[in-house]
Chains A and B, each alone.
Chain A
Amino acid sequence: MSGYRLSQGGVIDRARTVNFKFDGKSYAGFAGDTLASALLASGVKLFGRSFKYHRPRGVFASGSEEPNALVELRTGAYREPNTRATMAEIFEGLEAASQNRGVSLKYDPLAVNNWLSPFLVAGFYYKTFMWPSGFWEKIYEPMIRRAAGLGRNAGMPDPDCYEKTTEFCDVLVIGGGADGAAAAIAAAEAGQRVILCDENAPLYALQLPESVRLFSRTTVLGVYDGGTYAALERLTDHLPSSSAPRQRLVRIIAKRSVLATGALERPIAFGHNDLPGVMLSRAVGDYVTRYGVAPGRNVLLYLNNDDAASLIPTLHGAGVKLAGVVDARPRSSDALYDAARAAGAPVYAGAAIIRAVGAMGVKGARIRLAAGGELSLPCDIIAVSGGFNPNLALTSHFDGKPVWDERIAAFVPGILPPGMEVVGKAAGQGINANILPVFHSGYVPGKSFLDLQNDVTVKDMKLAEREGFASVEHMKRYTTLGMATDQGKTANVNAIGVLAEALGRGVGETGTTRFRPPYVPVAIGALAGAHTGRYFRPMRLTPTHGWAKELGAVFVETGPWLRAQYFPQPGEDWLSAAQREVNTVRLAVGICDVTTLGKIDIQGPDAAVFLERVYTNSWKTLAIGKVRYGLMLREDGMVMDDGTTARLGETHFVMTTTTANAGRVMQHLEFCAQILWPELDVAMISVTDQWGQIAVAGPKSTATLAKLVDAPFDLSDEAFPYMACGALTVYGGVPARLFRISFSGERAYELAVPARFAHALAEKLMEAGAEYGIAPYGTEALGIMRIEKGHAAGPELNGQTTAHDLGLHKLLSKKKDFIGRAMAARPALMDTQRQTMVGLKPVNERDVIRAGSHLLPVGAQAKAENDLGHVTSAARSPTLGSIALALLAGGPARMGETVRVYDPIRGGDFEAVVTSPVHYDPEGKRLHA
């Protein structure tokens, strides 16, 4: 218990006490405190256990670079692990907990890892847990994960909500310190639209012009192409509870940016430098000046530069005792001597702290003096400074390599992202050149940590170098230095310094690892924003959705659409409902919303020529008022899509596509029209959403429709035969299009009306067909009937099948050019041994064929080399029993043969007979029934 609240100072609100809990114990702080400052003020030193060795750890820094003090915030499903106590603002009722510990923070049985540490060196996991290989997943990895690690996942769906926004500005200023504020004001005065992002809570009321938009608690995470920046705004993390979004991912589009992120201090490594009480010098200063907290009662300062000497008057002014100044430089500056003298503290120039003394916290330090002797000094805080690194992570997101600047012994920005300017300490300006580059106190007894978060020591680095990991990128991956939540913000440069020393090279020559986004850890929820669960993507509803819902339809997702799957009546399961719907269509009449099929309106004098080129079959000969089935290939000769296209006029066609490919076909047609054949006078537009389309199928379809069509439209077979189409009006003047086409194989129509009339149309059809026993049918019945009829659909149009494979080769015109013609003629694609679409029926009627089953020769072993193909679609036909479509090697030649249907995953192994894919009404008589 050594930290305490100073009687004055800081920008906290001492009038407002805030109560919170840490590891179940109650504490109080002030409004404006972070969890770190409030706990330090309460005398807490121990914040967590380290990643690998479970060593006790305290607060090391005061900002987002904190490697040690990671805690879990809130409870239950709201629990968030790995939160930096230095960034978490306290609020009334906050519950925080330490992580990676045993029974309690003080007594951690896994601290035994510390004594095993000679075996836990760099690359230890790679070297030790090699054998037997099967042990890795089941034994070693879970064991390591349990022993070494960070916080615990809540293990429940994230109940918080998040959002995403986009903002635009002329100038984005990153960092709200003096340099950033000045840049924002200057840009605003020049008439620019400015956004200023600052990572911290608004402690000071910045006096900014109105045209500057300030985003507080907002961390810029990454820089992307075209002046795009990602930032994370923490909206309610500092509030007890709120229904507002917790965080907001802000995409900022900026013409220019100013990076004013300042510099981050780096430590000097020495023995046991991870003991609670060892802190960055500027963090000690921050706690005093920002929060009015003395982290300890007796501070020893260890430095190698003049910038850190500013802590001396800060402590002296706050009345905190300074035990002494250990300066790695052979001679300290006069200013430092003067300040130390004023504070009454001795200065040890040319000296080094070799070891921190203490068990659960700093009790003193062992110092190696310039003259050669050693000295012990009592202290409870060791404030350390090894220099200042420009905070340049964002400058290297565009592959810019930081450059070593000998003058200030730090990496400074190299080539900058387009439009970015760096100012102040982030650019290396204003960092004192009076520095002696020292990264560690030598190879001293006890662990000297370089990376506190990953428990990587000076010796680990040396070992990695001895084992040949001489490149910084290899070193990082081998030792794990610079990984995890802090990305080595306080560790990287020292590690590179130690590696350079071991290699006998300069630091600049050794180089640095590249920084990648995000700058700080981001909750996955923030990246997802509102797009979770059923909101993952927009759901498209058919125009008869409400009608189907009233009838008790069960819905299914088909691509972006929600479609009626089946309409169960009391006591029916999906199969009996679907089979009843099929029977109704085959025996009477049924209706089904087919709006989801892509509908493309194509017009222009060259529309027919255009269709000739995109479809494999002939279109010029199609008469006005007629519909034709068309097949479309990709340029590589594989089938892209199929559907019917109707000719409504000399220069007017309406194409339908499959539901799944609607967008892709539209894009393809536009490519053909705009890029391949700009000379054609043709235009097209998607009308999928504009027309609601309902299939009316079954022997009673004509009689049903006859009640709806307005006179004088003639529905007779002579006037409107199979494959006819036409414009008409229905039930008293609603404009409509009628197509006599059939997917079910029965006498059938598709009737299209403007989408807003589709719901009413469905109701009218139900009334009109009531006397025939009309029923709505869904995608299950649709699927059964198309498999009965052997129509290829999604599972067969899988991007690997040709027209030949699907038995559609008669549609390949020999008289004209079309997309895919040349490549479809490749000999291997014409091979009769290719897998070709066939029908299947089980030999034994009790067997049920399942899609995905593999086909093998009867008696052959179930090995990949015996594989003949697979079942693509399977159905339970009410009249034919189990039937299927399959892709079978040399299919047509095997008609009547028996094959083995093998489904090891779901346990199916039986024989089936190869049939024609058209299981039902092969002559097509039903179309006219």
Chain B
Amino acid sequence: MRIFCPHCGERGLEEFTYAQDAERARPTDGGATPTKEWEGYVYLRDNLKGPRREYWYHGGGCHAWLVVERDVSTHEILSVTVP
């Protein structure tokens, strides 16, 4: 797989690390208690087919966290952005 890093250009998969999907937002309630919202953020994944937004880390390059839009059933990369 090849990912086009906005800073470094097109690079091989081995320079990147997948972290998690970029569809969820961290709850902003101060985090004092384990609410349903927190459980959802930490554990629940829809695992949907088709284009998904994901966080990838360019650890072998510029150390940027990138939002990669990828079709998880074909591996086609639709866009790469610096959030």
Q: Which residues of A contact B (CB under 8 A)?
A: 166, 224-228, 253, 418, 635-636, 663, 667, 670-671, 674-676, 678, 817-818, 821-823, 825-826
Contact = CB atoms under 8 A, between A and B. Distances in A.
Contacts of A817: 30-32
B64 A674 contact: yes
Interface in B28-73: 29-35, 38-39, 41-43, 55, 57, 59, 63-65
Given A253-B12, A670-B65, A821-B32, 7 more contacts: A226-B1, A253-B2, A636-B42, A674-B64, A676-B26, A822-B34, A825-B33
A674 B65 contact: yes
Contacts of B29: 822
B75 A671 contact: no
A417 to B, nearest CB: 10
Nearest to A663: B59
B83 interface: yes
B81 interface: no
A822 B55 contact: no
Contacts of B77: 226
A413 B3 CA distance: 28
Given A418-B76, A678-B83, A225 B34 contact: no
B17 interface: yes
Given A225-B75, A226-B77, A675-B65, A823 B42 contact: yes
Nearest to A825: B34
B57 A670 contact: yes
Nearest to B1: A225
Given A635-B42, A636-B42, A821-B31, A228 B76 contact: no
B19 A228 contact: no
Q: Is the interface of A mostly helix, strand, loop or mixed?
A: mixed
A635 B38 CA distance: 9
Nearest to A670: B63
A418 B77 CA distance: 12
Contacts, number: 66
A636 B31 CA distance: 11
A671 B59 CA distance: 11
A483 to B, nearest CB: 27
A418 B30 CA distance: 47
Interface of B: 1-3, 12-13, 17, 19, 26-27, 29-35, 38-39, 41-43, 55, 57, 59, 63-65, 75-77, 83
B14 to A, nearest CB: 10
A604 B57 CA distance: 22
B51 to A, nearest CB: 15
B38 A823 contact: yes
5 contacts: A636-B43, A667-B17, A817-B32, A823-B38, A825-B32
Q: Which 3 A-B pairs have the closest CB atoms?
A: A226-B2, A822-B31, A225-B1
Contact of B57 (A635, A671, A818): A671
A224 B1 CA distance: 7
A125 to B, nearest CB: 36
Contact of A822 (B3, B33, B76): B33
B65 A671 contact: yes
B2 A671 contact: no
A667 B31 CA distance: 22
Contacts of A663: 59
A675 to B, nearest CB: 5
Contacts of A418: 76
A406 to B, nearest CB: 30
A826 B26 CA distance: 17
Contacts of A636: 42-43
Nearest to A821: B31
Contacts of B41: 635
Nearest to B66: A674
B34 to A, nearest CB: 5
Contact of B34 (A667, A674, A823): A823
Nearest to A674: B65
A825 B38 CA distance: 11
Contact of A671 (B3, B19, B76): B19
A822 B1 contact: no
Contacts of B19: 667, 671
Contacts of B1: 224-226, 228
B31 to A, nearest CB: 4
A667 B75 contact: no
B9 to A, nearest CB: 12
A689 B65 CA distance: 23
A826 B34 contact: yes
Contacts of B63: 670
B59 A822 contact: no
A715 to B, nearest CB: 37
Contacts of A226: 1-3, 13, 75, 77
Nearest to B73: A399
Contacts of B43: 636
A119 to B, nearest CB: 45
Nearest to B64: A674
A166 B12 CA distance: 10
A675 B41 CA distance: 15
A227 B75 CA distance: 12
A418 B71 CA distance: 14
Nearest to B35: A822
Contacts of A675: 55, 65, 83
A165 to B, nearest CB: 13
A513 B27 CA distance: 47
Nearest to A678: B83
Given A667-B17, A822-B32, A225 B2 contact: yes
A665 to B, nearest CB: 12
B34 A818 contact: no
Nearest to A675: B65
A671 to B, nearest CB: 6
B31 A818 contact: yes
Most chain B CB within 10 A, of A674, A822, A826, is at A822
A821 B12 CA distance: 36
A676 B41 CA distance: 13
A195 B29 CA distance: 57
Contacts of B38: 822-823
A675 B33 CA distance: 22
A166 B83 CA distance: 31
A667 B57 contact: yes
Most chain B CB within 10 A, of A166, A226, A635, is at A226
A166 B11 CA distance: 12
B50 to A, nearest CB: 15
A671 B39 CA distance: 20
A227 B19 CA distance: 24
A634 B43 CA distance: 12
A557 to B, nearest CB: 22
Contacts of B35: 822
Contacts of A674: 64-65, 83
B69 to A, nearest CB: 14
A663 B17 CA distance: 12
B5 to A, nearest CB: 13
Contacts of B39: 823
A817 B38 CA distance: 13
Contacts of B64: 674
A564 to B, nearest CB: 28
B31 A227 contact: no
Nearest to A829: B34
B65 A822 contact: no
B33 to A, nearest CB: 6
Nearest to A227: B2
B35 to A, nearest CB: 7
A487 B55 CA distance: 38
Contacts of A821: 31-32
A697 to B, nearest CB: 34
Nearest to B17: A667
Contacts of B57: 667, 670-671
